[in-house]
Amino acid sequence: MKPSLDGSGDERAPAMMASIAICDLANARAFFPERNTLPVPIIAAFGTGPLHQCRAEGSWDLSRAVAEDSARLVRSFRSVRLKDEFREWEDVIFQFGPQIFLCADERRIVTYAVTAAEAECVAKEFTEKYGTPPKPCGGSFQLIHVGDREIGTVTVQLEADTMLTLAQLGMYYGATFAHWHGAFEEDLRNAASCLSIFEGAPGTGKTSYLRHLLGALKDTHRFYFIPPATMRVLSDPRFMEFWANQRRVYSEQKLVVILEDSDAALMTRASDNREQVSAILNLSDGMLGDFLRLQIICTINCTTADIDPALLRPGRLLQHRVFARLSSCEAARLAQALGRTLPAARDYSLAEVFAGVEVHEARHPQIGFAA
């Protein structure tokens, strides 16, 4: 019998509920499910009977769904800002029949029914009724945070304008950069564990390029960002368990770790960074690297002459890219495209061109006493 979102056509009672003892409610989630954990209402309704799920990613008008089906809303989580009357449904669970449920957040829905066909039908019907066109966006990354008991992540979504065109790549980074980017992107799609280093002075566009790369590879890669202040997590014993869990859950995607301003973690091993360097070596190569299959991208402000030689070994280092300052001609061409005029100078950083900051020759000190 075909299910319906209005609950008609399905009068079955929960199977054998009187004789079922539920013993895992304490570990169940209240709202959106993880891969191996079911929300409480689903556990209570299905017990040990037949249960099938259907998952879909996209965008749905949850506010309209709640307004039109409020009587069937059995769980909800809502963000409210009273000062500007902002309200947003973040996690909801609808019950459309005794054993027909739908969990939704801003990016995904999961339906539950007695048969796989019913679960898929509910997902399609809900999408036809409440689905919305996805908003243009760039890539995203998982911001890693370290708690007292566990390591977790927060998803950060980037705007669509972080994606650059081939013309912009050439204008920001030089005429040959777009060709290099294409080759590097292909390498990341094919490589297992590897290490890449982006070298350059502050303001030369390393982070801007990383934002673009996150969008270019968002369908095949999952990115994790470790802030400089949290870099010591690399040698935390819990970190191995964290990566093993991530690899298990996201087995179809390549996992990429971004270490920004990671000079201290990459420099020649000493008493203050030995554990971090060793952790990067193990994650990017060796037996642990074979298991976790992590790709690591580091940005540095120092030069590779200061980097631990073991990190630069052929076979471990996939790419080393130097992000240079723009020549006066390159900067003038970019400034013209931006509608700006720059004062004469030897060279510019990308940030200086965009900020419109005047650059003086005094920024490039001469050696000796002659002026």
Q: Tell me the pLDDT of the chain (371 aa) as tens digits.
A: 455 666 555 544 444 444 444 444 444 555 666 555 788 889 899 999 999 999 998 889 999 999 999 999 999 988 887 776 677 888 999 999 999 999 998 788 999 999 999 999 999 999 999 999 877 889 999 999 887 778 888 889 999 999 999 999 999 999 899 999 999 999 999 988 888 999 999 999 999 999 999 999 999 999 999 888 787 777 777 888 898 889 888 989 999 999 988 877 676 555 555 566 676 766 666 666 677 788 989 898 877 777 777 777 777 789 999 999 999 999 999 999 988 888 877 889 999 998 876 544 434 333 332 33
Specify the pLDDT at position 283. Answer: 67
Specify the pLDDT at position 92. Answer: 93
Specify the pLDDT at position 265. Answer: 67
Specify the pLDDT at position 25. Answer: 44
Whether 311 contacts 195, CB under 8 Å:
yes
What fold is seen in the domain 140-322?
Answer: Rossmann fold (3.40.50)
Specify the pLDDT at position 366. Answer: 35
Specify the pLDDT at position 292. Answer: 76
Separation between Cα atoms, residue 246 and residue 244, nearest integer Å: 5
Separation between Cα atoms, residue 255 and residue 236, nearest integer Å: 19
- Per DSSP, the three-state class of 288 is helix
Separation between Cα atoms, residue 218 and residue 253, nearest integer Å: 10
E strands, 229-268, where?
254-259
What is the enclosing helix (H) or strand (E) of 286?
Answer: helix 286-292
Specify the pLDDT at position 13. Answer: 43
The bridge status of strand 347-348 relative to strand 294-300 is unpaired
pTM for this predicted structure: 0.65
Specify the pLDDT at position 20. Answer: 44
Residue 150: phi and psi, rounded to 5, are -150, 165
The residues with which 206 forms a beta bridge, in sequence order, are none
All CATH 3.40.50.300 domain ranges of the chain, comma separated, are: 140-322
Residue carrying structure tokens 């040959």:
176
Specify the pLDDT at position 16. Answer: 40
Specify the pLDDT at position 178. Answer: 94
Separation between Cα atoms, residue 266 and residue 234, nearest integer Å: 12
